[in-house]
Amino acid sequence: MDIGIDKIGFYSPNVYVDMEKLAEARDVEPAKYTIGIGQERMAIAPLHQDSVSLAANAALSILDEDDKEKIDFVLFGSESGVDHSKSGAVWVHQLTGINKEARSVELKQACYGATAGIKMAMGHIALNPESKVLVLGTDIAKYGVKTGGEPTQGAGAVAMVLSSNPRLLSLDNDSAALTKDISDFWRPLYSDYAFVDGKFSNQAYLDFLNDVWVNYQEKTGRTLKDFEAMTFHVPYTKMGKKAILAMTENEEESERDRLMEYYQSSIYYNKQVGNIYTGSLYLSLLSLLEQGPELEAGSRIGLFSYGSGAVGEFFSGTLKADYKNYLSKDKHESLLNERRELSISEYEEMLQQSLPKDGADIEIESEDMKEGTVYLTGVKEHIRQYVKK
Ligand code: HMG
């Protein structure tokens, strides 16, 4: 059966930090952030945008009435969940008006959550060919002011509808996956900020990529030449470049150049948004589809998913004919171009804001609330209050 991604959209808050200005404020050579890390702008989530509202906004940008009627599973991949018990998927289900007979659940494994959602969706659709599944990857990446990870923060969500006979990308059932218990990056329940061993996390990412890529080639008999383009989890865009260099170490130079050219299209959005954790791989895929040249039907795309802690997986998909007709390039470019730049002091203040931790009520008020369709207005009697315009 032909199962895959039928629709994809994304959402990111309407405020950002310019990376050159952040570098100047941190007394760092700007080229370190723009070239060494590879980021131009970094999306910041104001208090009224959390993982639920970001995901709801991403979903609302792609869902039509037929989707709302046919979706019978909502899978919310996130490591920025807002409740230990209730899944973000339940709120998104209600805020987007999906039919009440759907199931809703949250999936967590660092940046791997949305990929787990894709795998579950594929199995579910194989058993229920008429079903549509909404898979969300939504996160707010926070390391804190003046930390090593500071230039690799970001915020945003990707929403995808998976179905049989998809219009964008057919997914192959050809994965190679790997799990190992390591401490490269984690966020204890008591902390708003992630803990990270930066250099170790980079190495772990590359080691996982190597292991699953070797395993994938053994399992499928495919080689690099079978792939038109590769997409990666993109914590910062230089990481994907390191991934291509590692994968092409023993290949002809022309192979490396070919993949590197597509890679530039695949990081166009990520450069403007930063790390959105579990949505990052899919933001990169969206970027390739929208910003890259039109690729032939049947072209094979590789996907490498990595979630610290750690789980990695390599899998692939093939493009459908006319996929460009079902994308929203102009809308996504406007979303990013119409954002407001934050001064460094505004950014620092915004990053350090958090909801009360003692159970007190809060009403959030901000000029920036006019953005998006869904936002958080506060917390009342321990219950988050979302509004849909
Ligand atoms: P750092 O120590 O600030 O940076 O940490 P650096 O000194 O390693 O420099 C970074 C790069 O900039 C280097 O290039 C420098 O040479 C270059 P590289 O050797 O890496 O190719 N550089 C310059 N380039 C041009 N002009 C200059 C200049 N100066 C230096 N003037 C680090 C960087 C990424 C480690 C840090 O920001 C960090 O800890 N970030 C968070 C962790 C992270 O993103 N890890 C990625 C892999 S783990 C992962 O992807 C999972 C994750 O998404 C979480 C999840 O799964 O949920 C993070």
Q: Is the pLDDT of residue 369 over 80?
A: no
Q: Which of 48, 124, 233, 332 is catalytic?
A: 233
Q: Which of 160, 231, 225 is nearest to 3 (CA)?
A: 160
Active site residue 233: yes
What would the pLDDT profile of 151-162 be if each residue is shown by its tens digit?
A: 999 999 999 999
Asked whether residue 103 carries a pLDDT value surpassing 90, the answer given is yes
Atom of ligand 1 nearest to the CA of 36: 12
- Ligand 1 centroid distance, CA of 237 (Å): 10
Would you say 213 and 176 are in contact if contact means Cβ atoms under 8 Å apart? yes
pLDDT in tens, 184-231: 999 999 999 999 999 999 999 999 999 999 999 999 999 999 999 999
Q: Which residues line ligand 1 (CB under 6 A)?
A: 29, 31-32, 35-37, 79, 110-111, 148-149, 151-152, 184-185, 196, 198-199, 201-202, 205, 233, 235-236, 238-239, 275, 277, 306-308
pLDDT at 323: 98
Distance 172 CA to ligand 1 centre (A): 32
Substitution candidate for ligand 1 out of 20, 24, 196, 209 with most atoms within 8 A of CB: 196
Length of the chain in terms of residues written? 389
Per the annotation, the verdict on 253 as an active-site residue is no
Active site residue 261: no
CB of 193 closer than 8 Å to CB of 143: yes
Domains and CATH numbers, the chain: 3-388 (3.40.47.10)
Query: What pLDDT, on a 0 to 100 scale, did the predictor assign at position 124?
Result: 98
Residues contacting 2, CB < 8 A, separation 6+: 164, 165, 166, 170
User: CB-based contacts of 383: which residues, under 8 Å, 6+ apart?
Assistant: none
pLDDT tens, 325-342? 999 999 999 999 999 999
Strands 169-171 and 3-11: antiparallel
Burial label for 85, CB within 10 Å (0-12, 13-18, 19+), is exposed
Say what the pLDDT of residue 41 is. Answer: 98
- Which of 19, 27, 32, when mutated, tests ligand 1's pocket best, judged by the most ligand atoms within 8 Å of its CB? 32
Q: Which of 48, 93, 106, 111 is catalytic?
A: 111
Residue 365 — pLDDT band, cuts 50, 70, 90? confident
- Best of 51, 152, 231, 238 to mutate for ligand 1, by most ligand atoms within 8 A of CB? 152
Q: In this predicted model, what pLDDT tens digit does every residue of 263-297 receive, in sequence order?
A: 999 999 999 999 999 999 999 999 999 999 999 99
Lowest mean pLDDT among 120-134, 138-152, 220-234, 359-373: 359-373
Arithmetic mean of pLDDT over the chain: 97
Residue 145 gets the label, from left (phi > 0), alpha (psi -120 to 50) or beta, of: beta
Q: How many CB atoms lie within 10 A of CB 36?
A: 15
pLDDT single digits (tens) 10-37: 999 999 999 999 999 999 999 999 999 9
3-state SS assignment for residue 233: coil
21: which 2 tokens?
């200005």
Return the ∠ at Cα 103 (arms to 100 and 106), rounded to 5°: 130
Q: What pLDDT, on the 0 to 100 scale, is given for residue 372?
A: 78
Give pTM, 2 decimals: 0.98
DSSP alpha helices (H): ranges in 176-252?
198-220, 237-247
CB atoms within 10 A of CB 187: 17
